[in-house]
Structure 1
């Protein structure tokens, strides 16, 4: 089994990968100033609750969008498993070619999502990862990473509008049961949810028009199951897309 660590802006997500099968997932809050010792202890605690031991692992891979935490968590993985982790980068064999200006600056999470989509879904494909930021990746029929779009995430947008206004309350997004908001909370929630869905539909339609081919759209991230029913086009859901990408990258580059 491979230990996979995805360091995000809000959470650090951990998974055990057995081939393309995700054996377990768990997470901890991203904290900017944790040391290697602290992360090692927390990883051991989380894995012990899952009855997973260091001997169960035969490698590790790290994906990070928080550079200052990459080394402390990578060192924690090495201490825990005894293996130096593989780091995600565009220089790895991803199964993709790149049509962007600076492949080395593409987010590691986006690389993992794109690698999984190119290997597992019909192309051309657009992935949508609904996290702290909402990231879109477009992969051509020739497995070329064409780029995409980055916009504020649903919760990020809601926090920003609440912080920047005097009368709009903070809310947690949830699945709406009707379209038009009838009070302030519903207006905020429905605007965020249906607005994100309309953006997803609209961008997919424009990409499809630009490529001149039918487009497969794959959504991932915690809010995806709530956004997808608000969309007008068919969207595939893959909650483990990133970890499947990490598994593929490890297999290709270990």
Structure 2
């Protein structure tokens, strides 16, 4: 079995593959102050609760955009599972080419998502990850990542609205039945959700226009991706497990090359 881990700014998502099947996935809040023992015991408890033996975990791969967490998390895997994890980064075989101005600046999660989408759909394509930030990444038909756009995530926008205003409340992120709001709650929801749908559609259309490619597959992932994918035709596919799939693909490429 393979442990696949994506460490994001908000959450750490852990999954287990048995051959090509995901047999479990879990989410924990990202906290840089946790020790390797806390991470190790937490993962062990998750596995035990789901009747997965620690001894069955033979390999692991980790992508991370939070450097402060990596030392403790990597040591947890070494200490509790006796394995040296593959860390997605420079030198990792991915099957795609990073052609941005500074490839080392590209977050590992973005690479992983592109790898999965390219493997499943080919290029050209756009991968949108609705995470803490929302990223729009463009891959050519030859598997070349050249362009990326980053915007504040919809949750960040919602948090900023209620934190920076005296009378506006925190609201549930959902689309109201009409953009013509009659109260404070639905007016905030309308502005956030309809506004974000508009952002997605404009950016996707602008990418296609400037790339001079109308037929580009648009693949979405991330915690709030389902909300957006259900409300706009600009997104072709929503895959909540895109990063897990990308991690598995990268893991297999690097294991076979060793």
The normalised TM-score by structure 1 is: 0.95
Partner of 2:196: 196
Q: What are the ranges of 5 or more consecutive residues in structure 2 without an aligned counterpart?
A: none
Partner of 2:21: 21
Residue 146 of structure 1, CA deviation? 1.3
Alpha carbon RMSD of aligned pairs, Å? 1.4
**CA distance in structure 2 between the aligned counterparts of 1:20 and 1:238, rounded to whole angstroms:** 16
- Secondary structure at 2:218's aligned position in 1? strand
1:253 aligned onto 2:250: no
Aligned positions of 1:127-166 closer than 5 A: 127-166=127-166
1:64-116, Cα deviation, whole Å (9 max, x unpaired): 11100011111112223221000001421111112201111100110100111
**CA distance in structure 1 between the aligned counterparts of 2:150 and 2:233, rounded to whole angstroms:** 21
User: Which segment drifts farther, 241-250 or 209-218?
Assistant: 209-218
Tell me, yes or no, if the aligned pair for 1:11 and 1:27 is still in contact at 8 Å.
Answer: yes
Tell me, yes or no, if the aligned pair for 1:175 and 1:227 is still in contact at 8 Å.
Answer: no
Tell me, yes or no, if the aligned pair for 1:22 and 1:240 is still in contact at 8 Å.
Answer: no
Aligned positions of 1:38-187 closer than 5 A: 38-187=38-187
1:116-167, Cα deviation, whole Å (9 max, x unpaired): 1111114111111111111111101111001211111111111111111111
The normalised TM-score by structure 2 is: 0.94
1:18-64, Cα deviation, whole Å (9 max, x unpaired): 34432210011111201111111111112211111211211001111
- Secondary structure at 2:196's aligned position in 1? helix
Tell me, yes or no, if the aligned pair for 1:60 and 1:81 is still in contact at 8 Å.
Answer: no
**CA distance in structure 2 between the aligned counterparts of 1:133 and 1:20, rounded to whole angstroms:** 29
Alignment size in residue pairs? 254
Tell me, yes or no, if the aligned pair for 2:179 and 2:187 is still in contact at 8 Å.
Answer: no
**CA distance in structure 2 between the aligned counterparts of 1:123 and 1:20, rounded to whole angstroms:** 23
- Secondary structure at 1:84's aligned position in 2? coil
Residue 5 of structure 1, CA deviation? 1.3
Partner of 2:243: 242
- Shift of the 62–234 alpha-carbon distance from structure 1 to 2, 3 Å rule, reads closer
- Shift of the 36–152 alpha-carbon distance from structure 1 to 2, 3 Å rule, reads same
Tell me, yes or no, if the aligned pair for 1:125 and 1:217 is still in contact at 8 Å.
Answer: yes
Structure 1: which 4+ aligned runs deviate by more than 3 Å?
none
Residue 193 of structure 1, CA deviation? 1.4
Residue 175 of structure 1, CA deviation? 3.8
- Secondary structure at 1:230's aligned position in 2? coil
Residue 229 of structure 1, CA deviation? 2.5
